[in-house]
Amino acid sequence: MSVLDDIVAGVAEDLEARRRTVPLEQMQERARAAAPALDAFAALGGSDPERTQLRVIAEVKRSSPSKGALAEITDPAALAASYEAGGAAVISVLTEQRRFGGSLADFDAVRKAVKIPLLRKDFTVDEYQIWEARAHGADLVLLIVAALDDARLKDFLALTHELGMNALVETHTAQEIERAVAVGAKIIGVNVRNLKTLDVDRSVFASLASSIPGAAVMVAESGVRDAADVEQYASVGANAVLVGEALVRHNDPAATIAEFMRTGSGALAARGHGKG
């Protein structure tokens, strides 16, 4: 069993416990009653034809399977507020508990603290989680192509759009990008971490970026240690970077985000445009 398979199995088990507490029909009612989702596609520059501004998706992340504990994060709302102050376009909140130490309670706290779009960062394996995300005020959900067959990927993306949200559709290979494009993904991430082995290869992004259509927002995920990594991703066309560890371990995440945006935007401007 791969690391991804093991994580997904745990997610499915925890999901069933929540479903017993709040049945799907009740969760759907809560989702329909929630305030409308914010436009994360626009926030990430999707509506900007030039795309010369690098966007940052800043992550509230306590731990990871590859690195273990990253930061205690006693106040996720305060951390998220600092991200917003630094200019983050979107905030990602881990809600997977077993491997990442996240929770929907973290998400709720952040939702109350910021006014920018939120990504509910979890391993989506059932439509219940999409309704659940919307009920808690999510504007984006994560759909990992490697964890879904074509039918579920298509159905989950359609449901996400039906609920007024967007999806970050995560890929790692050329074939996965083809599958994401085939279902009409508007925000496509390339995770340079192989979720089956947890190995990181930053060159993966450069090798795959040109396969992503220019109309889609292109997100570089994982492997960001400093501004040089952001510059490298932007230089080959990343419109946004998703950053967790480099922010939660920094004493001044707002300043770090601002630096990443300056550096990445400079690299995009040097290319002449932000499209792949």
Give the catalytic positions in this structure: 59, 61, 121, 170, 191, 221-222
What is the distance between the alpha carbons of residues 106 and 109, in angstroms, rounded to a whole number? 5
Nearest to 73 by CA among 13, 19, 113, 133: 113
Say if CB 114 and CB 81 are below 8 A apart: yes
Those residues with Cβ within 8 angstroms of residue 23's Cβ, 6 or more apart along the chain or in another chain? none
Nearest to 219 by CA among 51, 57, 83: 57
Nearest to 253 by CA among 90, 82, 75: 82
Give me 43's structure tokens: 């926030």
